[in-house]
Amino acid sequence: MKTLNPLDATWLFVDSARTPMHVANLSIYSLPEDAPDNWVGEMVAELRQTRAFAAPFNLRLTSARLKSIFPTWSETDDIDIDYHFRHSALPKPGGERELGVLISRLHSHPMDFTRPLWECHLIEGLENNRFALYVKMHHSLVDGVGGMRMLTKMLSFDPAARDLPPPWSVGTGRDGPRPPRPDAGRTPWDKLRAGLRRQGESLPELSRAFGDIAREAVKHETPDWVLPFQAPVSILNKPVSAQRRFATQHYELDRIKKVARAAGVTVNDVFLGLSAAALRRYLGELNQLPEQSLTAGLPVSVRPADDEHSGNAITFIISSLHTEIADPVERLRAIRASTQAAKEHLQGLPKAGINNYTMLYMSPYVLQMLTGLGGRMRPMFNLTISNVPGPDRPLYFNGARLEQMYPVSLLSDGQALNITSVSYAGQFNIGFTGCRDILPSMQHLAVYTGEALEELEAETKARRAA
């Protein structure tokens, strides 16, 4: 029996029927050349035979009833593989639309807390001889980077490699769950209180950093720097319902790089620019575009290069999406100024104090989730936009080429939309996870993101020519 570390436990604590805290990875494969008709069926049957379970696939909550009070993991070998590994199919024509609808459904289904908290769905019937793998896991077991590592560990750079083991036999590669911290055994609430108390013991540099935030909040000397709670009220920040929508978009990474170079911004800035353009248009059509610009929370890795710990090393910066600006190139440059101001503040911080900084900076957000106040008070930022680095070379599963992969994320009250991208072998893939009842026709957001890149390409080209 193992106690969860407080960060992992938080995901169980805030889990509810309306805000299930599972995340997933959707990967799409093309069949090997000359694959016979029953290739997928045969592979499913073979994978199903592999009943060795690596952590975290062999972990179960010791008591599902106590999940939010005092969660602990137990290892188990008694796993009903037919329950966790599911073979599904798409109706014809098996296009992106049918796949999006099925993923929306699968991602809306709650997990069964009496079993290990993962599901693996192999989906056949995608047009052009493809199949998909949707691997869903509770966020208390894995984070975005861990999930990516898990998936890539399952795959091979070698197209000729066969008999690759299924994800549940590979695991994250750690010997077990994250080791408990010295203060394990206390509830997430205890830990949160302790974290807030520790702020009093911060380093002098850190105090200066908070001084900067406080001064800026009053004097507003750096107009590009967005502080928490400067987000406008929007439909993106209502309490969410239990059902999800999922949509995808993907580009050649080179197209984004080209626009970034032409406009003198980063790839991530272009990603924000595309999201901003799509949101401006989508919310505008719904008559729900706030006058003041939307703001986005951006998770940023702050792990030093020589840090080998597997634990959490993420902080957030907040950037303006400048959805009040009509011109796409001007908007992109304003976004650039905003992300730079936020990063400069972050870089001025001492590395040693970064966790305490994150805790204080993010604590109102965490508190909103823990207290269930999300969607009922002013949002810290309007939505999360995240960029997860993926493998840069083509990967294969038993000879099937990994064509694309997408993250499927989670929502909480007050955060009804998540846009996360992942790069892979020269691609830039975006997954949109949204609340079904707040965001009608969310597929349009993905389409508009695609059209926004065409617009930026045309505009940057035209301005350079002029």
Residues with active-site annotation: 139
Coil, strand or helix at 39: helix
Stretch that binds a second copy, among 22-30, 85-93, 270-278, 427-435 (CB under 8 A): 85-93
**Could you tell me which of 206, 233, 157, 197 has the C-alpha nearest to residue 399?**
157
Q: Which of residues 429-448 bind a second copy (CB under 8 A)?
A: 436-437
**Least CB distance to a second copy at residue 375 (A):** 15
Q: 177: which DSSP letter? A: S
Q: CB-wise, 29 or 424, nearer to a second copy?
A: 29
Coil, strand or helix at 8: helix
Residue 157 interacts with a second copy (CB under 8 A): yes or no: no
Residue 77 interacts with a second copy (CB under 8 A): yes or no: no
Binding mask 3-42 for a second copy (x = CB under 8 A): ----------------------------------xx-xx-
Residue 91 interacts with a second copy (CB under 8 A): yes or no: yes
Q: Which of residues 223-262 bind a second copy (CB under 8 A)?
A: 241-243
As a whole number of angstroms, the distance between CA 407 and CA 448 comes to 19
Residue 175 interacts with a second copy (CB under 8 A): yes or no: no
**Could you tell me which of 361, 370, 383, 108 has the C-alpha nearest to residue 237?**
383
Q: Are 297 and 380 in contact (CB under 8 A)?
A: yes
Q: CB-wise, 398 or 420, nearer to a second copy?
A: 398
Q: CB-wise, 69 or 194, nearer to a second copy?
A: 69
**Could you tell me which of 46, 56, 61 has the C-alpha nearest to residue 164?**
46
As a whole number of angstroms, the distance between CA 367 and CA 296 comes to 18
As a whole number of angstroms, the distance between CA 297 and CA 365 comes to 11
Residue 454 interacts with a second copy (CB under 8 A): yes or no: no
Residue 182 interacts with a second copy (CB under 8 A): yes or no: no
Largest CA distance in the chain: 69
Q: 319: which DSSP letter? A: E
**Least CB distance to a second copy at residue 41 (A):** 6
Q: How many positions of this chain bind a second copy (CB under 8 A)?
A: 31
And the tokens for 167?
């994800």
Q: Which residue reads 């009496």 in tokens?
A: 114
Q: CB-wise, 134 or 424, nearer to a second copy?
A: 134
- Contact residues: a second copy, CB under 8 A: 37-38, 40-41, 44, 80, 82-83, 86-93, 98, 101-102, 105, 109-110, 112, 114, 124-125, 241-243, 436-437
